[in-house]
Amino acid sequence: MSDIASFDADHIQGIDFDPAAFAPGDIPTEAETGPIKLYSRDEVHTAIVDGVTMAADEAHVSNKGDRFTWAVSAVMTYLDAPSAPWAEVKNRHYTATPDSADDESPQYTRDQVSQAVNNGVDKAAERTGRRRFPDDLDNFVVNAALTLLDTPDADFYTVVAECYSDSPRVVRSWL
């Protein structure tokens, strides 16, 4: 007997779902361990920009410097195309990116965002000629962005408490 012949339509359950009733990031999906929160492009962009701003402010440097602007471009490129060549990052960096209809649609898991943030900051450190590997300031950007993704009102002290075993004064001295 084929699978089609044994199909029983009486066991199909329909559900009502109104996506307009949810805010970005509120739509959970199910996994083996339970619901997974999804994030929108806007949420990720806000988190990386705010993370860069926090890191730059604590280090007393401009957040408009290459190390930060390239990192933001790389993160947003790798969010959609994790294995994109650097040429795509350069293209995004040098051209205005049109708004997308999917900017507010929750579509990225925390793991996808974490991978994009880590790879974007690492690749920007490597490609901008500062050094081959990311430094403490780059690592703080990653930690701040990922903390801000889940807690948008987090401050420097919150990031330090959640991500480091050292005091805020010690962490600040690294930046």
Q: Where are the domains of the chain?
A: 40-174
Q: Band of the pLDDT at 1, cuts 50, 70, 90? A: very low
Indicate the helix (H) or strand (E) that contains 29.
strand 28-31
| pTM of the shown model | 0.77
Looking at residue 95, the DSSP 8-state letter turns out to be: S
Contact in structure between 48 and 114 (CB atoms under 8 Å)? no
Q: Give residue-wise pLDDT tens across range 78-113.
A: 999 999 999 999 998 898 766 555 688 899 999 999
Report pLDDT for 53: 97
Confidence of residue 141 (pLDDT cuts 50, 70, 90): very high
Reading the block at residue 55, the tokens are 């890191």
pLDDT at 76: 95
For CA atoms 151, 157, 161, 166, give the dihedral sign: positive
Cβ partners under 8 Å of residue 171, min gap 6: 140, 160, 164
DSSP structural state of residue 99: P
